[in-house]
Chain A
Amino acid sequence: MSRIGQTFTALKAHNRKALIPFMTAGDPGKGLTVPLMHVLVEAGADIIELGVPFSDPMADGPVIQRASERALANKVGLKDVLAMTAEFRKTNTTTPVVLMGYANPVERMGYETFARAAQAAGVDGVLTVDIPPEESAGVSDVFKAHGLDPIFLLSPTTPESRVEQVAAVADGFIYYVSLKGVTGSASLDTGEVARKLAMVRKHCKLPVGVGFGIRDAATAEAVARIADAVIVGSRIMSEIEAAPEGECTNRVKHMVAELRRGVDAASK
Chain B
Amino acid sequence: MNLTGLTDLPDSRGHFGPYGGIFVAETLMAALDELRVEYDRARSDPAFMAEFEYELKHYVGRPSPVYHARRLSEAYGGAQIYLKREDLNHTGAHKINNTIGQALLARRMGKKRVIAETGAGQHGVASATVAARYGMECVVYMGAEDVARQSPNVFRMKLLGATVVPVSSGSKTLKDALNEAMRDWVTNVESTFYILGTAAGPHPYPMLVRDFQCVIGRECLVQMPELAGRQPDAVIACVGGGSNAIGIFHPYIPHEGVRLIGVEAGGCGLASGKHAAPLNAGAPGVLHGFRSYLMQDENGQIIETHSISAGLDYPGVGPEHSYLKDAGRAEYVVINDDEALAAFHDLCRFEGIIPALESSHAVAYARKLAPTLGQDKIILVNLSGRGDKDINTVARESGITL
Q: Taking beta carbons and an 8 Å cutoff, which residues of A are in contact with B?
A: 53-59, 61-62, 65, 69, 72, 77-79, 102-109, 129-132, 134-135, 152-159, 162, 166, 177, 180-182, 185
A104 with B30, Cβ < 8 A, contacts A54-B301, A77-B299, A134-B22 known:
no
Residues of B within 8 A of A108 (CB): 283, 285, 296, 298-300
Bound-state Cα–Cα, A194 to B196, Å: 34
Q: Which residue in B31, B186, B298, B301 is a CB contact (below 8 Å) of A181?
A: B186
Q: Are A78 and B300 in contact (CB under 8 A)?
A: yes
> Which of B79-87, B206-214, B287-295 lies at the binding interface?
B287-295
**What's the least CB distance linking A204 to chain B, in Å?**
14
Q: Are B186 and A107 in contact (CB under 8 A)?
A: no
The 8 A CB mask of B164-206 against A (1 = contact, 0 = none) is 0000011000011001001100111110000000000000000
Residues of A within 8 A of B298 (CB): 108
A135 with B22, Cβ < 8 A, contacts A56-B287, A159-B30 known:
yes
**Closest A residue, CB atoms, query B291:** A107
Residues of A within 8 A of B170 (CB): 55-56, 65, 69
Residues of A within 8 A of B188 (CB): 180
Bound-state Cα–Cα, A46 to B289, Å: 32
Residues of A within 8 A of B283 (CB): 108
Q: Are B22 and A157 in contact (CB under 8 A)?
A: no
User: Main secondary structure on chain B at its contact with chain A?
Assistant: mixed
Bound-state Cα–Cα, A33 to B77, Å: 63
Of the listed residues A69, A72, A105, A130, the one surrounded by the most CB atoms of chain B closer than 10 A to its CB is A130
Residue pairs across A and B with Cβ atoms less than 8 A apart, 8 shown, are A72-B301, A104-B294, A104-B296, A135-B23, A152-B26, A155-B25, A180-B186, A180-B187
**What's the least CB distance linking B376 to chain A, in Å?**
47
A153 with B26, Cβ < 8 A, contacts A58-B179, A107-B285, A107-B286 known:
yes
**Closest B residue, CB atoms, query A129:** B25
**What's the least CB distance linking B283 to chain A, in Å?**
8
Q: A132-B25, A155-B27, A180-B186 are in contact. List 14 more A-B contacts (CB 8 A).
A: A55-B303, A58-B24, A58-B25, A61-B183, A104-B301, A104-B302, A105-B299, A105-B300, A108-B296, A130-B286, A130-B289, A152-B26, A153-B26, A177-B26
**Closest B residue, CB atoms, query A53:** B301
A-B residue pairs, 3 tightest by C-beta: A108-B300, A77-B299, A105-B300
Q: Are B179 and A56 in contact (CB under 8 A)?
A: yes
A157 with B299, Cβ < 8 A, contacts A132-B22, A180-B187 known:
no
Q: Which parts of B291-330 form the interface with A (CB within 8 Å)? A: 291, 294, 296, 298-303
Q: Are B183 and A58 in contact (CB under 8 A)?
A: yes
Residues of B within 8 A of A159 (CB): 30
Q: Are A132 and B29 in contact (CB under 8 A)?
A: yes
B349 an interface residue at 8 Å Cβ cutoff? Answer: no
Q: Which residue in B13, B29, B285 is a CB contact (below 8 Å) of A158?
A: B29
